[in-house]
């Protein structure tokens, strides 16, 4: 005797089969701790059973299974799970438009004015119109990126872009008004993350060899190098400018580094590939690699204030300018899509069937732009 799920919504059809021809009933495990009552027994070829309706209390992604029994109370095993996504009725975002870009971009930043955004990928960077798919200017930089993208940062006033190569050990500064490369400097290879200080005076770069490099923006001189763990994966800056947060996915280490002397003030046991900090600097949202959770770190004491369960690992993060929502994208496996976390209560409001994207927000927070080979625009 066996049972198999075919399609899922809040109600689900099951097609059970009993080799002895007995009448069969089914029950559903909804993946949120709730199990349905058994259906009535039915018999016959090609018959199917409809579950009772189920309403999820919290938005999220759930693994749903079905089990069958016959009139002798002989039970089947549980079926292979199917995933159902339950979104909040007031889910604030929807996937409004997708389009191709003029370059194969994997990184994106928004100009502070909101009148354009910038993308970077293998061998090129481009300035794009806020309408979405119109290129304002493109600059070609040989060997700049690779298939998973290249780190891209922007000065706080929007005057300059900073982009690094991956196999090619350089950092380029691009004037955003006309996309002209103004200068460059040789740094380490295999850069995984870049960030710019809130005052615009420093650029921070991390690489796979475990180095945090600090460059002065006045002349692009490497002012300081701190050696941390291997395979540094990402970096972000507290809006106060007093700390940088450095992630590492090769070991359980999230480094909190003081910018006054670039010493490690604290280390949290988190392996990560992505994170973002709330605009008020109060909380850091960190994707926990191989744990399928987001760790919410309180920056006042560098402690983990909450953990948010996900269906898979989250790798890339962005926060709305008002700090109300965190957008995260999945690893393409357990979390094959993207989600929206409400920061007021750390609840996932819903999921969108797009993933593997870097995201930036318009200054008013009403529009999000994302890239990952192709591009999308989300509106509220």
CATH number at residue 81: 2.60.40
Residues 140 and 165 in one domain: yes
Question: What's the mean pLDDT in 114-136?
Answer: 88
Q: Is the pLDDT of residue 93 over 80?
A: no
Q: 247 with 366, same domain? A: yes
109 in the same domain as 82: no
Show which of 23, 58, 86 is a domain's final residue.
Answer: 86
What is the domain count for the chain?
Answer: 2
CATH number at residue 119: 2.130.10.10
Q: pLDDT higher for 357 or 207?
A: 207
Highest mean pLDDT out of 57-66, 134-143, 288-297? 288-297
Residues 236-252 have a mean pLDDT of: 93
Among 67, 86, 105, the domain boundary falls at: 86
Q: 316 and 361 share a domain? A: yes
Residue 42 pLDDT class (50, 70, 90 cuts): confident
One domain for residues 321 and 258: yes
Q: What is the mean pLDDT of residues 270-288?
A: 96
Same-domain check for residues 69 and 132: no
Judgement on whether residues 107 and 253 belong to the same structural domain of the protein = yes
Same domain, 155 and 240: yes
Please check whether residues 138 and 65 belong to one and the same domain. Answer: no
Q: What is the pLDDT of residue 336?
A: 64
Is this structure's pTM higher than 0.75? yes
Strand partners, 98: 376
Q: Do residues 206 and 147 share a domain?
A: yes
Same-domain check for residues 47 and 115: no
Note whether 40 and 107 are same-domain residues: no
Domain stop point among 52, 86, 120: 86
> pLDDT category, 67, cuts 50, 70, 90?
very high
Mean pLDDT of 124-140: 88
- Domain span at 238: 94-379
């Amino acid at each position: 005797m066996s049972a198999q799920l075919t399609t899922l919504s809040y109600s689900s059809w099951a097609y059970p089969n009993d080799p002895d021809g007995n009448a069969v009933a089914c029950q559903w495990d909804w993946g949120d701790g709730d199990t349905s009552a058994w259906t009535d027994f039915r018999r016959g070829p090609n018959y199917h059973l409809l579950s009772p309706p189920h309403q999820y209390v919290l938005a999220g992604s759930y693994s749903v299974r079905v089990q069958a029994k016959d009139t002798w109370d002989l039970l089947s095993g549980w079926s292979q799970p199917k995933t159902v996504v339950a979104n909040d009725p007031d889910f604030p975002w929807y996937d409004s438009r997708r389009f191709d870009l003029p370059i194969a971009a994997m990184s994106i930043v928004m100009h502070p004015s909101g009148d354009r955004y910038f993308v970077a990928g293998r061998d090129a960077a481009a300035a794009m119109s806020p309408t979405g798919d119109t290129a304002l200017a493109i600059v070609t930089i040989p060997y700049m990126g690779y298939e998973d993208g290249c780190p891209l940062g922007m000065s706080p006033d929007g005057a300059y872009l900073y982009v690094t190569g991956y196999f090619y050990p350089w950092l380029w500064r691009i004037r955003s008004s006309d996309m002209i490369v103004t200068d460059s400097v040789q740094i380490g290879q295999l850069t995984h993350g870049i960030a710019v200080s809130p005052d615009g005076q420093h650029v921070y770069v991390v690489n796979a060899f475990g180095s945090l490099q600090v460059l002065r923006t006045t002349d692009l001189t490497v002012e300081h190098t701190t050696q941390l763990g291997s395979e540094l994966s990402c970096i972000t800056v507290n809006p106060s400018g007093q700390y940088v947060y450095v992630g590492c996915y090769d070991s359980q280490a999230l480094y909190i580094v003081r910018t006054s002397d670039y010493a490690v003030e604290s280390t949290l046991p988190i392996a990560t590939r992505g994170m973002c900090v709330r605009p008020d600097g109060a909380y850091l949202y960190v994707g926990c690699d191989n744990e399928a959770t987001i760790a919410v770190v309180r920056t006042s004491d560098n402690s983990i204030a909450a953990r948010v369960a996900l269906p898979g690992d989250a790798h890339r993060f962005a926060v709305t300018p008002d700090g109300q929502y965190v957008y995260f994208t999945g690893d393409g496996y357990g979390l094959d899509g993207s989600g929206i976390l409400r920061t007021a209560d750390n609840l996932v409001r819903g999921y969108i069937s797009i993933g593997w994207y870097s995201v930036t927000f318009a200054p008013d927070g009403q529009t999000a732009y994302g890239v990952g080979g192709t591009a999308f625009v989300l509106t509220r």
